[in-house]
Amino acid sequence: MERADKTLLFRLLIVFVVILIGTNAANYLLFSGQTDPGPSVDEESRTIIRYEPRDHELEEETKIFFEAMDKITRNYFYPVETDKLVEGAIRGMIDIIDDPQVRFFDPDELEEFLLDTRGSYGGVGIRIIETGEDIVVFEAFPDSPAERNGIMAGDRLLEADGQSLTGEGIDRAVELLRGPADTTVDVKIRRPGAEEPLEMTVRREEIQIVTVTSERLDDGVGYIAINSFDSNTSGEFLDRLEQFEREGLDAGLILDLRNNSGGLVDQAVSIAKEIVPDGEIVRLVGRDETLRTVYNSSAPKKPYPIVILINEETASAAELLAGSMQDREAALLVGRTTFGKASVQQLEELPGENAIMLTVANYFTPSGHNIDEYGIAPDFDIEMPEILHYYRYFHPGPLELDDYGVEVEMLQDMLTQIGYEVESSGYFDDGTSQALSDFQVDVGISPSGEFDESTWVELREALDVASREQDKQLNFGLELLNDPETWIDDGGTEQ
């Protein structure tokens, strides 16, 4: 199979599988993971849009719309509600614009979107994916109600409050599992290897969405990862950075923005104001190249070196932060060229608790670089094995002898990555079955030689370890921090 085909499938799998219970599908999903909510971008108030023809020509053009709607509502054989026609017309206008970041929200969609930026939600604390007709637990968050009740990755959700989830889609599962804190939901699950379904009652809590994680990698080296930007991100980041600085960052900081699809621009700007040296961070340019806003920093240059990790899924607000640090020579970028999304969206309210998200500006880095569609090139281009980039999104269902296809090839790539010899052919042959049996024996499960739910859980855990040990981008970043010839005395980069 061609490399391009595999890469395309990997990317489609990301879109297909990831959704966070009680929050957005992120970073990802309401706007293909690449949209910045607007009101917080430049603190402009939201505007209620009303139809007021600006001139005679516009009034004449809109007559067609109103006459068409009138004829449909009066003369069409099947009755049609006017509000449905209006909503359809708005969605049609958005289709004509052909901007993937522009979209219409009905009241339910708007409520969902606003929850996304709040940083918390009422729910049980799991991330789910849709596999065929099944809803599968992708992850149970640490110390969440789900984890405390024993819900695990790989569990299949059969029912919630007596309502079947099989074949009902992921949105229905989200609707039933989410709810106010201190309420309960009865769930029935099928666990890999268990003969009978498990039933339990889970009490919902206010789940805080974690967008920032950190750890010490080496003596004097701090590591902070930001996976998206919501209303709590800046505060979380600054708390962790301050703690590292108190403990000592003599060897430097690694800031991981890989797979960060963006979010609230003001949160990225707030972080930039603390780590970008005194001067410009970013400028927002509106229609007709009008300058809307320039954001500046007054922070002193950090006395330690900084490496920022980026990849093909680094987008939007994350690109803003990485680009400003690169342009101001405050960090070295390691990884792959970023996604290339530098448009800014603003949420505009419409009557009836509807809204529309509009692209209102592009942002440019301090050097005037327009990221949109081009992305940011790293200072050091370092590849990662594709399977380590995408393995967490792999959940094809059962695979066995004589199966054929891309999913089998991905399984073979995973086994190869963790040290089992198997040909990456896409055909589930005897060699694949033997390699899978060897893996199953090594992790202590029955060696069936077939890929099932229990094997999926163990394989993902093995790849979690491998992805860290074989993280070429992170390891290269550590090498840079440890190479004194890369940095000048005050923490900047050599010219």
Which residues are known to be catalytic? Answer: 316, 327, 341
Cα–Cα distances (Å) from 362 to 39, 117, 168, 249, 260, in that order, read 15, 21, 39, 35, 19
Extended strands (E) in 397-491: none
Contact by Cβ (8 Å): 129, 25: no
Judged on CB neighbours under 10 Å (0-12, 13-18, 19+), 59 is exposed
The answer to whether 371 and 363 are in contact (CB under 8 A) is yes
Q: Is 310 in contact with 334 (CB distance < 8 Å)?
A: yes
Q: Which two tokens stand for residue 216?
A: 């010490």
The DSSP element (H or E) to which 56 belongs, if any, is helix 56-75
Q: 């061609």: which residue's tokens?
A: 2
Ordered DSSP codes for 161-193: TTEE-TTS-HHHHHHHH---TT-EEEEEEE-TT
The secondary structure of residue 78, as a DSSP letter, is S
Within 10 angstroms of residue 429's Cβ, the number of other Cβ atoms is 18
Give the pairing of strands 198-203 and 212-218: unpaired
CA–CA separation, 250 and 320 (whole Å): 26
Tokens 């268990």 belong to residue: 194
Separation CA 273–CA 298 (nearest Å): 7
User: Which residue, among 305, 256, 319, 314, has the nearest Cα to 471 in the 3D structure?
Assistant: 256
Q: Where are the alpha helices (DSSP H) in 178-315?
A: 233-247, 265-275
For residue 146, give both structure tokens. Answer: 């789900």
Angle between helices 265-275 and 233-247 (to 10 degrees): 20
